[in-house]
Homo-oligomer: A and B are copies of this chain.
Amino acid sequence: MTEMADLNAALSAAAAKVEATLDEVLAIDGAPETLIYEAMRYTTLGGGKRLRPFLVLQSSRLFDVAETSALRAGAALELIHCYSLVHDDLPAMDDDDLRRGKPTVHKQFDEATAILAGDGLLTLAFEVLADDRTHTDADVRAKLVLGLAQASGVRGMVGGQMIDLQAESRTLNLEEITQLQRLKTGALIRFGCEAGAILGNASDQTRAALINYAQDLGLAFQIADDLLDVEGSVEETGKAVGKDADAGKETFVSLLGVDGARQRANELVDQAVSHLAGFDERADLLRLTARFVVDRNH
């Protein structure tokens, strides 16, 4: 499928540029605190689809934002995503030993270094956004900081992680699962799409269209993840249930069934795309991205 090939090529090209920007903002100087820099670089560089920065780049394209601005804002968002994985993997949280086939930070280094490296990445994200190399207009920089802080704090990602932890001891219904995902994974995706509107000084109406797109995209993304968790297992192990079900956690699939979840994801994709009706062909990759999240197989 040519369109999907186009999207994959665009994703790869963007990922390479994001990688270079991350490498730059994580440049190690000769300070004695080498170990923490190493841990920060270890966990951030060398992998990942970089979906969130891709959304920043694509939403920025709609408003002819300078590429450096979009790349730096995307890198800041990715730093937040990476820190959240480091802290999530800690023994007191999900206790994971491997991430993308590599030992997690607390395994490769130690727990204290993982905690501090996460703190360092989180803090660096805001340093990058507030720096005037990200945008010449301080008002734009302050709005980016505010938006990213809201998306990643207790009213966003961190709040979602807390609900997720508490969910281990009780059963969530569909509304609660939706709220959890809107915060835990949705908030950063939303900021990715909103960032272009902030960088481009877009009107409130245009910004709202991107936010609506992002909210449907984020939810479709999560439902697709739940489907992969189940169907990946079916193919690979012959078991019909995946790790979420094993952990006794409710998911969109356990609540809606496989067919119901797939139908819901497709509805959300259509709805996401409809919010982009006001944009020209520069939004085509965002439209394709929405299709991609439910059709991907990894």
Contact = CB atoms under 8 A, between A and B. Distances in A.
Interface of A: 31-33, 35-37, 40, 83, 87, 90, 92-93, 106, 110-113, 115-116, 118-120, 122-124, 126-127, 129-132, 137-139, 141-143, 145-146, 149-150, 152-155, 158-163, 165-166, 176, 179, 183
A120 B31 contact: no
A93 B120 contact: no
A127 B139 contact: no
A32 B162 CA distance: 9
Contact of A124 (B35, B153, B165): B153
Contact of A153 (B127, B141, B162, B165): B127
A-B interface, 9 closest residue pairs, ranked by CB to CB distance from nearest: A92-B111, A127-B149, A123-B153, A130-B145, A130-B146, A138-B139, A33-B159, A36-B162, A138-B138
A64 B113 CA distance: 42
A153 B94 CA distance: 25
A154 B90 contact: no
A119 to B, nearest CB: 5
Judged by DSSP, the binding face of A is helix
11 contacts: A31-B159, A32-B163, A33-B160, A33-B183, A92-B115, A123-B152, A130-B143, A138-B138, A138-B139, A138-B142, A138-B143
Nearest to A83: B119
Contacts of A35: 162, 166
